[in-house]
Amino acid sequence: MSMLFLGVSTGLIGAIATNIDITPFQIGLFLAIQNVGFMIAVSISGALADSVEKTRILLVGSLILALSFFTFYLTESLWLNMFIMMMIGVGVGTYEGVTDAMLIDMHEKRQSLHINVNHFFVTFGAILITVYLIFLEMNWRISLVQSVVIVLILAAVFAVSRLTKKPGPEEDYIQRIRILTKDKVLGALFLAAALAVGVEGGCIGILTTYLMDLRDFDQTTSKVGLVVFLVGIALGRIVIGYFGQDKNISRYILGSFGFASIAYLILFFLGLGRWTYISIFVAGFSISAILPMIITLVGQIYPQMAGTAIGSIKVAIPIGGIMIPFTMSLMTSQTSLQWALLIFPLALFVAFVVLYFAFRELPETGERAG
């Protein structure tokens, strides 16, 4: 449930921008500062998760998020609301930094399934806030107050919950970071995660424009295409998570990148007519489970410091979310939208090649002593 609010927060500004009458420039500022808060929180909370009770960290994150939701745009002060948006990023970054490590502690088997389901709720939250605030035209302030109530209920659950205490890492935080920065496999996974997240976010941002400008879709049918893409991501996380095997997860990751690079090349460079919706769904499905599987693999490689390792990998989320769309924007200004779209299959292919060589250093099980 906590990851649902990561999706809600991700889609929040886009959903209510017209209601609060903010400019595109201000939207960019809000999204950037939210990512700053997210980056800080995900790395700190992930590191703390190895030595501090995880439910206590989630309790603090929930209280920060509830207060931020309640106070957002109570006044029209840009700087105050930017600070509040950063704290929203801190709140959801805390969820992101702790929940997957907590799932790895709680479930010795089918870890990939549980993490995929966890990230399913991110996509579901993004869909939910869009439908709730735009298509149903609900009052955005009421919806945020309702969110506050639910987050406070989560905080109460975290306050009374206890997890079985597992041995923490022997190394201090600085030593853990040194170990992680020397690991070439972890570096390759960081790059791959950034590219996967960037492609997913960039495709969400450009898909309707691509369909209307280059494939003659209209306003309605292009939006249907975006919904199909999000459904493909959501369904893919459930299906791949269910059928995937934890012991072969590095092969699933590699295969997903290879398949996705072909799927995105077909989507953006072949005119498929009425079959375009199928291509959109396949593209969303192909990339859906990559990030959850990377997170699972990192937890397997470093089981004793899963929080720190996963938190470090998740710093790639906002980096990728900026890197790929920005590169695509530069390419569009220099060439055309059609050629700029090459960044998507190319990024996925680069990740495939990098991981192909990096995974040679892993044992057959895909695991390494933490």
pTM confidence score? 0.76
Query: What is the pLDDT, as a whole number, of residue 282?
Result: 95
Cβ 27 vs Cβ 13: under 8 Å: yes
Q: Tokens at residue 66, please?
A: 């509830």
Spatial separation of the C-alpha atoms in residues 271 and 191, rounded to whole Å: 31
For residue 10, what are the contacts with CB-CB under 8 A and spacing of at least 6?
Answer: 92, 122, 125, 126
176-360 CATH choice from 3.20.10.10, 3.40.50.150, 3.40.50.2300, 1.20.1250.20: 1.20.1250.20
Q: Please check whether the two domains, 4-162 and 176-360, share a CATH topology.
A: yes
Q: DSSP label at 274?
A: G
State the CB neighbour count (10 A cutoff) for residue 224.
Answer: 16
**CA-to-CA separations, 308 to 48, 118, 124, 166, in angstroms, rounded:** 8, 19, 27, 15
Query: What is the pLDDT, as a whole number, of residue 354?
Result: 95
CA-based angle 197:305:300, to the nearest 5? Answer: 65
What is the residue extent of each domain of the chain?
4-162, 176-360
For residue 269, what are the contacts with CB-CB under 8 A and spacing of at least 6?
Answer: 338, 341, 342
278-281 contacts at long range (C-beta below 8 A, 24 or more positions apart): 280/207, 280/225, 280/228, 280/229, 280/232, 281/228, 281/229, 281/231, 281/232
Query: What is the pLDDT, as a whole number, of residue 262?
Result: 96
CATH code of the domain occupying 4-162: 1.20.1250.20
For residue 149, what are the contacts with CB-CB under 8 A and spacing of at least 6?
Answer: none
Q: DSSP label at 369?
A: -
Residues in the chain with pLDDT values less than 70: 1-19, 23-25, 27-28, 105-114, 116-140, 163-173, 219, 244-246, 362-370
State the CB neighbour count (10 A cutoff) for residue 165.
Answer: 8
Query: What is the pLDDT, as a whole number, of residue 352?
Result: 96
Q: DSSP label at 133?
A: I
With b meaning 16 or more CB within 10 Å and e meaning fewer, what string describes 79-107?
A: eebbebbbbbbbbbbbbbbbbbbbbbbee
Cβ 87 vs Cβ 68: under 8 Å: yes
pLDDT in tens, 18-46: 567 776 567 667 877 888 898 899 888 88
Query: What is the pLDDT, as a whole number, of residue 176?
Result: 75
Query: What is the pLDDT, as a whole number, of residue 52?
Result: 82
Spatial separation of the C-alpha atoms in residues 305 and 219, rounded to whole Å: 48
pLDDT in tens, 145-177: 877 888 888 889 888 887 666 655 566 667 777
For residue 4, what are the contacts with CB-CB under 8 A and spacing of at least 6?
Answer: 121, 122, 124, 125, 128
Q: Tokens at residue 110, please?
A: 């089918």
Query: What is the pLDDT, as a whole number, of residue 366?
Result: 47
> Which residue, 4, 1, 22, is CA-closest to 13?
22
